[in-house]
Structure 1
Amino acid sequence: MSVDWSPLKAELAIWRREARVLPIWWRDDDAVKDTRALAQLTGLAETYGLPVHLAVIPKFAQASLIEVCRSPWAVAMVHGWAHQNHAPEGQKKAEFGWPREGAADEIQQGIGALQQMFGAGLVPVFVPPWNRIDADLVAALPDLGFAGLSTFTPRTARLAAPGLVQINTHVDPIYWKGAGGLVPPEVQIAALVQNLQDRRFDRTDNAEPMGFLTHHLVHNNDIWSFTEACLGTLLDAGAVPCNLHDLKGNLP
């Protein structure tokens, strides 16, 4: 696969000339157990020195993930409860996108289950499946034990609710609206450059780490290759890796 990275490299060169800092973090969704694909993911994280934050589905999480997250290159977060769609008919998929009885209880059950598994290693950030969550549940998250919320697209404010820091993802290489393969690289690179320019011109918040989102269980070779090359390009240009576990007392 031949990819033209020159537009991204040109924008990153401007960042270096202007001594700008680009914090980046990596989130990977739907972890439930150790697999060959997960080993490939954490191996890449170690190679690049960029920890991968595993959004773990609490209801189906298996003990094999405990050993995975003993590595400094994999940290666990809370990915809903059962990754079950509860959206009304005709609406976009969501587990917690609409008010429903028992939703807060499921979230509390989820963080409790993963705290038992990972102890202090768990990052108390809630990742709602399909990146959608009802506003009333957002407001309830701090009382349920969460310090952060992560969805998709640039945040509009640092705090999603009092005591709850929003740290989103911004790059997703998977073509979900298509056949599930790789989004055309030129489309992704153009969007990434636009994201960087929005940060550079203060149209969006550059204090929010730029989030790279993956789903290791559904990667094909093109997605793996793009992920590796994109992360490598960003880090080679001076992007600063973020580990939200180390920052959980003072999330950016």
Structure 2
Amino acid sequence: MPLSRILLRLELALWRRRGRLPLLWWRDDGTQADTPALRRLLALSHRHAVPLTLAVTPPAAGAPTSSALAALLAACPLVTVAQHGITHRNIAGPGEAPSEVPRVIGLGMLASEIGRAAAALEGLPNRLPVFVPAWNRLTPALAAAAAQAGFAGLSGHGGQDAAVAPLPRLDVHLDLLDRDGPPRFQGEASVTLHLVRLLREGRREGRWDAPIGLLTHHLDHDEAAWRFLDRLLAELGPRARIAPLGTLLGLPAMGAPGSCPAAAA
């Protein structure tokens, strides 16, 4: 067994010794359509009975929501949907951080654009009024516009623009992929040791109920990433609490019980 996995089990045992189970939640970014990779992701959620939030990229202006995607998600009660940006099209200049928002845009117009993109997702079931910015870039203007557009929660990346919070916010902290350049799996040791550090910090500081967010990007996973994710969910299953995003943000549960067709994928 790799040393990183041994260290994770030891850290989880220290939590149990204190009569505690760490709290996690899971978000996957970049859903656009019913694909084999998405079905593989949903199969993992179903097999391990782990709730999952899909950050779905709105379709292009005027394009309808995929009926195949809607039908797939309608039968997956563990899966909820959040809006992932507006267009997820990078309009930043050379050398600038990726952005889908023009440098100069009024708050009302930005809120209108967010609302227009939200309307394109209305055909999807189990939606939560949660806005997930493209590239996790949650600026004050974007956060304020999301609130004006009627969203009830935000989700970015821990440590990035942490003070931006006009709405309840729940971030992710543990990304399976390295995005410095083309997306690639960070490797079991790197991701596992990062999780160990997050757990150790929470235990030492007594933050027993502070959620740790797991971030995946199913369209960019290679086989090593898929195998690791399967093992990680199995490892955490009996040793942690993995809660739905809606529950953690105090938003009403959506969806009805059913059997997920992706389970056979």
TM-score (norm 2): 0.82
Q: Is the 8 A contact 1:155 1:167 kept in 2?
A: no
Pick closer, same or farther for the CA change 1:21–1:154 going to 2, 3 Å.
farther
User: Which residue is 1:38 aligned to?
Assistant: 38
1:106 paired to 2:113:
yes
- Distance in 1 between the 2:13 and 2:41 partners? 28
State the Cα distance separating 1:42 from its structure 2 match.
Answer: 0.4
Q: Is the 8 A contact 1:158 1:208 kept in 2?
A: no
- Distance in 2 between the 1:79 and 1:93 partners? 14
AA partner of residue 107 (structure 1): I
**CA-to-partner distance for each residue in 1:49-68, whole Å, 9 max, x for gaps?**
11221111112442222112
Q: Which runs of 5+ in 1 are unaligned?
A: none
- Distance in 2 between the 1:193 and 1:3 partners? 12
1:55 paired to 2:62:
no
User: Which residue is 2:179 aligned to?
Assistant: 176
Pick closer, same or farther for the CA change 1:141–1:45 going to 2, 3 Å.
same
- Distance in 1 between the 2:196 and 2:4 partners? 13
State the Cα distance separating 1:180 from its structure 2 match.
Answer: 2.8
Pick closer, same or farther for the CA change 1:30–1:97 going to 2, 3 Å.
farther
Secondary structure at the counterpart of residue 165 of structure 2: strand
Q: Is the 8 A contact 2:44 2:230 kept in 1?
A: yes
Secondary structure at the counterpart of residue 185 of structure 2: coil
State the Cα distance separating 1:206 from its structure 2 match.
Answer: 5.0
Aligned length: 245
Secondary structure at the counterpart of residue 37 of structure 2: helix
Of 142, 149, 155, 1:144 maps to: 149
AA partner of residue 160 (structure 1): A
Q: Is the 8 A contact 2:34 2:68 kept in 1?
A: yes
State the Cα distance separating 1:10 from its structure 2 match.
Answer: 0.7
Of 115, 124, 148, 1:118 maps to: 124
State the Cα distance separating 1:178 from its structure 2 match.
Answer: 4.9
- Distance in 2 between the 1:91 and 1:5 partners? 38
- Distance in 2 between the 1:91 and 1:159 partners? 21
User: Which residue is 2:256 aligned to?
Assistant: none
- Distance in 1 between the 2:152 and 2:173 partners? 20
TM-score (norm 1): 0.86
Pick closer, same or farther for the CA change 1:132–1:138 going to 2, 3 Å.
same
1:194 paired to 2:201:
no
Q: Is the 8 A contact 1:23 1:241 kept in 2?
A: yes
State the Cα distance separating 1:25 from its structure 2 match.
Answer: 1.3
Pick closer, same or farther for the CA change 1:248–1:63 going to 2, 3 Å.
farther
Of 167, 170, 184, 2:170 maps to: 167
Secondary structure at the counterpart of residue 168 of structure 2: strand
**CA-to-partner distance for each residue in 1:164-186, whole Å, 9 max, x for gaps?**
11111111111222553321322
Q: Which runs of 5+ in 2 are unaligned?
A: 253-265
Q: Is the 8 A contact 2:25 2:211 kept in 1?
A: yes
- Distance in 1 between the 2:110 and 2:77 partners? 32
Pick closer, same or farther for the CA change 1:193–1:249 going to 2, 3 Å.
closer
Pick closer, same or farther for the CA change 1:98–1:230 going to 2, 3 Å.
farther
User: Which residue is 2:244 aligned to?
Assistant: 243
- Distance in 1 between the 2:158 and 2:97 partners? 16
